[in-house]
Structure 1
Amino acid sequence: MQNPINDPLFLVQSTSLTRLVTESVEKLILSGELAPGVKLNEVALAERLRVSRGPLREAFRTLEESGLIHQEKNRGAFVRVIELDEAADIYDVRAGLDAIAGRLLATRITAEQLATLRALTNSMLAVGAQEIDRFHAMNLAFHDQIVKMVGNPTLRETYSKLIKQLTLFRKRNLLAPKAIPRFAEEHSAIVDLLEAGDAAACAEALFAHAQGGRLRMLQDGNLAGVS
């Protein structure tokens, strides 16, 4: 009788289940339902997701590697708390990746891609000052699209990991409504530079945009920049 561990179908099913469980727990964390600092209850999560604790523990290992949770011996798993200093460090790295993405995309962007980004920025310009959650979602989509359009899987994977970690910090903080129009205008200017094909200026603008978010975050202390 074949060992299930060596059965290709078993491996595919097991891997798929672990991935689904990982994605489900990640959504709970990034949505704020499982808040920073909260202990992850294995029994409750296993019952909620209707899985055994094996795939859940595998998911915990993956989420720990991605920087979203941490596990302590004899204590369990906890959603990570990203402090201000660490968030600032993440912003520094993110700014560099934004610049790389902008420089690369400016040399290869298509008319269809420009239209997608322009539609996003137009929607952001129309967002009301109090529509913080809506603007935040559009902001994430805008930057994700830029990185995705570059077509570099390594860049996208690294960038996505950093953004998810920053989301943990933002879930503990508020965005100042007065900042929304300024962010939207900066996004629109970035699209103008992409359309012009100015790689150097686009890289500089995206770097400054991210660093501006970092600076505002540090100045406000308990308010997270969302650039």
Structure 2
Amino acid sequence: MTIVDKRQLTIWNPSVSIAVMTNEAAPAESALALLRNRSLASAAQEEIEKLILSGELRPGDKIGEAEMALRLGVSRGPIREAFRSLEEMGLVRFEKNRGVFVREVDLERADQNYVVRGALEALAVKILAEKITEDEVRELRAIVKRMEKAIARDEAAEYGALNLGLHRRIFEMTGNSRLLAIYSRITKELTLFRRRSLAPQPSLHEHRDIVEKIAAHDAVGASQAMLNHVESARLRILTTYSP
């Protein structure tokens, strides 16, 4: 491809000017099309991810490319891109000549994820305890208070959502985006563990203890409390579901 330098053009040669405009427009249009396709793929990925994490698409379910394109109102290209991103996230798997399926996470994988999650969360509370503000302390305490009310009303689903929200806010408050990204991937994989369980009552006092140690800027104590909390959850899972 010949690159034309505008400084060499003269005003009296309109044919050359038109050629330059055409050559410049083509890459711009290509870039716009690429951006549009990437935007559609990102939107498709987010929607499919929601369907998986909400349980509407369950582990082992096949996700049809054509059906999903029709459901989301996009072409099949963005859906294929979305599938590739979801595979990298560990939410779907490709089977040759069969298609794309929601990933199934077995007990061994869940156990490994709990071990990694414990290390990540212990680090997160340590970082946060050293820098937390009074406003952030009030926010975390407010979430724990809402968890208490959810238990009093026997609303397990609400408690579960608040539980996940509390842990995520701790990571967000650290300000470490890489730490948050790794944690998010681990928790999404754990969401696919179809035999998982949540026992609200035993863990509430653990959450309260963690928050109060963070509030007191007790980095070591908060870290150990969080590690114990995640380890307790891991052992409950293993005790309940081991063969």
Q: Taking structure 2 as the reference length, what is the TM-score of the superposition?
A: 0.85
Q: Secondary structure at the match of 1:71?
A: strand
Corresponding residue of 2:157: 133
- What amino acid does structure 2 have at the position aligned with 1:219? T
Q: Secondary structure at the match of 2:192?
A: helix
Match of 1:151 among 175, 179, 182: 175
Q: Which whole-Å deviations, capped at 9, do the CAs of 1:84-122 have from their partners, x for residues lacking one? A: 110000000000000000110000001111111100001
Q: Retained in 2: the 8 A contact 1:125–1:181? A: no
Distance of aligned partners of 1:174 and 1:61 in 2 relative to their CA distance in 1, 3 Å threshold = closer
- What amino acid does structure 2 have at the position aligned with 1:55? P
Q: Retained in 2: the 8 A contact 1:5–1:11? A: no
Moved over 4 A (4+): 1-6
Higher alpha-carbon Rg: 2
Gapped regions of structure 1 (runs ≥ 5) = 223-227
Corresponding residue of 2:235: 215
Match of 1:45 among 68, 89, 114: 68
Q: Percent identity?
A: 43
Corresponding residue of 2:197: 175
Counterpart Cα distance in 1 of 2:187 and 2:29: 36
Gapped regions of structure 2 (runs ≥ 5) = 1-21
Counterpart Cα distance in 1 of 2:131 and 2:65: 46
The 10-residue stretch of structure 1 (123-132 or 72-81) with the greater mean CA deviation from structure 2: 123-132
Measured after TM superposition, the shift of residue 6 of structure 1 is 6.8
Corresponding residue of 2:103: 80
The 10-residue stretch of structure 1 (202-211 or 58-67) with the greater mean CA deviation from structure 2: 202-211
The 10-residue stretch of structure 1 (5-14 or 21-30) with the greater mean CA deviation from structure 2: 5-14
- What amino acid does structure 2 have at the position aligned with 1:59? A
2:117 aligned with 1:97 = no
Counterpart Cα distance in 1 of 2:129 and 2:158: 27
Q: How many residues align?
A: 218
- What amino acid does structure 1 have at the position aligned with 2:209? A
Corresponding residue of 1:161: 185
Measured after TM superposition, the shift of residue 33 of structure 1 is 0.3
- What amino acid does structure 2 have at the position aligned with 1:166? L
- What amino acid does structure 2 have at the position aligned with 1:124? M
Measured after TM superposition, the shift of residue 11 of structure 1 is 2.8
Corresponding residue of 2:225: 205
Q: Secondary structure at the match of 1:78?
A: strand
- What amino acid does structure 1 have at the position aligned with 2:112? D
Corresponding residue of 2:44: 21
Q: Taking structure 1 as the reference length, what is the TM-score of the superposition?
A: 0.91
